[in-house]
Amino acid sequence: MKRLLRHSLFLASMGVVGAVHAHHSGAMFDDTKVIELTGVVKEFQYTNPHSWLLVDITNSDGSVTTWGFEAEGPSTLMRAGIRKGDLPPGTPITIRGNPMKDGRSGSAWIDAVVNGKTINPRNGFAVIPAAE
C-alpha cells in the first residue's frame, strides 16, 4: 500500500495523466476514449524505445483481430514490475487503452488484469529511491 501511495503521489507530482511517450507525441491516440478488451497474449515485444503487447481478440463472428498495445521500454516496465516472462503467449488478459484515431487496432496501453492482478505500465515512472 505504501508503495502504491508513493506511485500515486509521484505520478500526481509529475503531472502524468496520459502516457509519457518516449519517442513520439501522443497525437495518434484518442485520449478521450478508453477501450477494454479481453483476449490472450500473442507476443510481448519487449523493446526500446517502446514495448508492444500483441493481444488476440476473438470477435463475435469467430474471427480473430490482433491488437497492439504500446507501453514504454523495458526499463520502465521493469520499474512497474512488468517483466517479459510475466506475459508469455497464451496468457488470458483483460486490457485497457486509448485507441488510435485512424481506426487501426493499435492503442496506448493504460492497464490490464492478468490472473486477477492489475498491472499498470505507467507505474514505472515512480521514483523509488535506493536505500542510503
Partner 1 sequence: MTELKAAARLSLFGILLVAADALTAQEDWLAKDANWNEHKTRLQAFGERFENAWELYTYLQETANGGNALTWEDMPKPAYDWSGVYTRTGGGLSFDPDIRANETTAKLTEAGASARQRKIDLITSTGGEYDPLSDCRPPSFPRWATEPFLHEFVVTPNQTWLMNEMVNDVRRVYTDGRAHTLPEDAYASANGDTIGFWTDGMLVTHTTYLISGQYQRGTQPDYSDRVDVVERWKKVDGNTLEADYWVFDPVNLSEPWYTRQSWTQLANDDDLLRLRYWDCRENQNNDILEKNDGTSQFSDFDFIENDAAVSTDEDVKQAAE
- Pick from 35, 40, 106, 113 the residue near partner 1 by CB under 8 A: 106
State yes or no: residue 105 binds partner 1 (CB under 8 A).
Answer: yes
CB neighbours of 59 closer than 8 A, spacing ≥ 6? Answer: 65
Query: Residue 116 or residue 132: which is nearer to partner 1 going by CB?
Result: 132
Beta bridge partners of 52: 45, 70
Which residues lie across from 65 on neighbouring strands?
57
- Does residue number 49 form part of the binding site for partner 1 (CB under 8 A)? yes
Alpha-carbon distances, residue 114 vs 51, 67, 85 (angstroms): 17, 16, 13
Question: Does residue number 27 form part of the binding site for partner 1 (CB under 8 A)?
Answer: yes
Smallest distance, partner 1 to C-beta of residue 23, A: 4
- How large is the C-alpha radius of gyration of the chain? 15
Q: Do residues 51 and 77 lie in contact, with contact meaning Cβ atoms separated by under 8 Å?
A: yes
Position 6 contacts partner 1 (CB under 8 A):
no
> Footprint of partner 1 on this chain (CB under 8 A)?
10, 13-16, 20, 22-28, 42, 45, 47-50, 52, 54, 66-68, 70, 73-76, 78-79, 83, 100-106, 125, 127-132
